[in-house]
Amino acid sequence: MKPKISEYLKSLKIRELTVVTLLIFLYVGYLYYKVFIFTNDTQTTKEEENYILIERVKPIYISLTTPYGIPPVENCDMVNPYVYTKVVSLKSLPVKERKKRFISLILPSILIENFKIEQNRKVVLKIKEKIENNQELLPVEEKFLYDLFEEYRVENIGDLLKRLNTSPVSIILAQAAIESGWGTSRFFVEANNVFGVWTFKKDGNYKIKAKNSNAYLKVYNNILEAVDDYYYSINIGWAYENFRLVRLQTDDPLLLTNHLEKYSILRKVYVQRLKSIIVANNLQKYDNCNLNPDFIYTDILK
């Protein structure tokens, strides 16, 4: 009997040792998972959540050598995002053809800029909703908001949303037509300056001198830059504060133009000219144009 008992006791010790070893192995495995795997997964999840998805446009840059190099806009719902880095005078074209080519040249940049503003506005509205629901903002959201506060010179979301807004395409086209003479002015051809924007900077690389005057106009690298700068003036300038407020209530271009009289020294005459150009050229049909979705992509902001 003794040998059997001793063997039994020996087997018990082996089993206990095996169980203890197994427990130690499991505990070490748990610690490894907790420290190296679970922690890293948690960090990865947090990193993955710390971003903003926003849609952007990929422009197609074109340098013109002839006015016939401007692809005409045939489908208002599928406008390709052409951005012109060098333009030519449209003066040689018959009036009807000149206007058609001019609109085809300017329209894509207006739509690109509108799209950018609209996307930024969507993100701001989402951030506003989170704040109202007492949700903590991500660092990337805080930076996004702070950068826009700086750009638009505001201190709160309410004021930002008044400025971070788009205008009807028809108004912008009409102003571009007046200020550039439908694509015939020297400033348009030599400086991509579509809206007759003046500058007071001393840097000669970004300005050209007006004839018989000490005044200078801005030089832009492309038409999109000119549209962007135009929008900055409209959305920031004190002279257009009432325009921005009315814009929150209506998108009717014929009503909104009443509040752009300070854009020109002609005041009310300028407003009437804008309205006449919009109506005579049926520019309102471009207010609902859209970019070709093939050139829209999702960007990740971190």
Digit-by-digit pLDDT tens for the chain (302 residues) are 444 434 533 454 545 545 555 555 565 555 554 544 444 444 434 444 788 999 999 999 999 999 999 999 999 999 999 999 999 999 999 999 999 999 999 999 999 999 999 999 999 999 999 999 999 999 999 999 999 999 999 999 999 999 999 999 999 999 999 999 999 999 999 999 999 988 877 665 677 777 766 778 899 999 999 999 999 999 999 999 999 999 999 999 999 999 999 999 999 999 999 999 999 999 999 999 999 999 999 999 88
CB 53 within 8 A of CB 138: no
> How many angstroms separate the CA atoms of 247 and 235, rounded?
11
The predicted pLDDT at position 218 comes to: 92
Q: Which two tokens stand for residue 47?
A: 């990193």
Beta strands in the chain (DSSP E): 52-57, 60-63, 82-86, 207-209, 216-218, 296-301
C-alpha distances in Å from residue 197, one per residue of 72, 74, 120, 229: 26, 30, 25, 9
The predicted pLDDT at position 18 comes to: 58
C-alpha distances in Å from residue 49, one per residue of 52, 138, 185: 8, 8, 50
R_g over Cα of the chain? 31
The predicted pLDDT at position 2 comes to: 42
The predicted pLDDT at position 4 comes to: 44
For tokens 């051809």, the residue is 189
Q: Which of 220, 172, 170, 214 is nearest to 197 (CA)?
A: 220
The predicted pLDDT at position 249 comes to: 96
Whole-prediction pTM:
0.82
CB 232 within 8 A of CB 199: no
Residue positions counted in the chain: 302
